[in-house]
Amino acid sequence: MASRRLASTFLRSSFRRSVIKSPFSVPKSPSPSTAARRPSPYGYLLSRAAEYATSAAAASPPAPPAPAKKDGGKGKITDEFTGAGAIGQVCQVIGAVVDVRFDEGLPPILTALEVQDHSIRLVLEVAQHLGENVVRTIAMDGTEGLVRGQRVLNTGSPITVPVGRATLGRIVNVIGEPIDERGEIKTDHYLPIHREAPAFVEQATEQQILVTGIKGVLDGKYDDLPEQSFYMVGGIEEVIAKAEKIAKESAS
């Protein structure tokens, strides 16, 4: 735009100078052949200005595309109440206590967090809000190798464990992973480890025998006991009394 204004100003001044006549000069009538051969300065300057504007427009590079917005590693929040999907960063590690900072999507207390890009699956449970978007958590496993700045995912839910018939006879850790080397627990039923107790009307009041299937070892005397003693049920005192009675009868 500035180059076009400069070119138009230059053309106007040149045209005015060519038109203005000096009072001391005697005008000469140009011959027809000379006027025909001499090019018009106005047309020459106009063509030069057009050529300059065209070349300048062709030489100017196109505008670069707008850079795509980045989320800065904050994650995509899928639940505004729990902040599920938010990404935080570890800001302090003291043994099993880990402090995590969230720019947005602050998790509620007892929410499970998972450390990203770690050698093992490390779950953190929110125990306290420290203010300034920082939460204090308790690690459910060892924190060896955990460093400041490491990314932490807000799961938006508490720690859950599998329940139901598929878990009978199985051994799981606090985050519901099987540790008995018997494979994965295949079930669709999970419950949080922190849940309200059942109402009083839902609790059973009648007395009944609870079969635990636990086999007790009683002072090394189990070698002399008959096989039936391993399947006794009842309180631990009753089991010990029955086992001692059977041992005495077997010895006599």
- Identify the bridge partners of residue 93 per DSSP, sorted by sequence position: 98
Higher pLDDT, 232 or 153: 153
> Looking at this protein, which amino acid is placed at residue 21?
K
The single-letter DSSP state of residue 194 is S
DSSP-based three-state secondary structure for 230: helix
CA torsion sign for 69, 147, 98, 115 is positive
* 22: in domain: no
Q: What percentage of residues in the chain have a pLDDT greater than 70?
A: 61
pLDDT for position 209: 79
Count of beta carbons in the 10 Å neighbourhood of residue 53: 13
How does residue 69 score in pLDDT terms, banded at 50, 70 and 90?
Answer: very low
* 150: in domain: yes
The mean per-residue pLDDT over the stretch 6-13 comes to: 62
How does residue 201 score in pLDDT terms, banded at 50, 70 and 90?
Answer: confident
Residues 94 and 141 both lie in one domain = yes
Closest Cα partner for 98 from 145, 160, 157? 145
User: Does position 62 have pLDDT exceeding 90, yes or no?
Assistant: no
How does residue 65 score in pLDDT terms, banded at 50, 70 and 90?
Answer: low
**pLDDT tens figures, 124-155:** 999 999 999 999 999 999 999 999 999 999 99
pLDDT for position 81: 85
Distance CA 58, CA 188 (A): 66
How does residue 178 score in pLDDT terms, banded at 50, 70 and 90?
Answer: very high
Residues 108 and 143 both lie in one domain = yes
The single-letter DSSP state of residue 219 is T
Q: How many helices (H) and strands (E) does the chain have?
A: 4, 8
Choose the most confident range, by mean pLDDT, from 32-46, 64-78, 109-123: 109-123
pLDDT for position 113: 97
* 243: in domain: yes
Into how many domains does the chain fold?
4
Q: Answer whether 125's CB lies under 8 Å from 160's CB.
A: no
Residues contacting residue 170 through CB under 8 Å, at least 6 positions apart? 178, 180, 182, 185
Residues 220 and 182 both lie in one domain = no
* 66: in domain: no
Residues 145 and 183 both lie in one domain = no
Residue 197: phi and psi, rounded to 5, are -70, 150
pLDDT for position 115: 96
Distance CA 196, CA 212 (A): 25
DSSP-based three-state secondary structure for 88: strand
Residues 106 and 140 both lie in one domain = yes
Task: Provide the token pair at 208.
Answer: 């009944």
**pLDDT tens figures, 72-117:** 566 788 888 889 999 999 999 999 999 999 999 999 999 999 999 9
Residues 178 and 228 both lie in one domain = no
* 184: in domain: yes
* 137: in domain: yes
Higher pLDDT, 76 or 159: 159
User: Does position 35 have pLDDT exceeding 50, yes or no?
Assistant: no
Per the structure, the complete domain to which residue 165 belongs is given by: 159-195
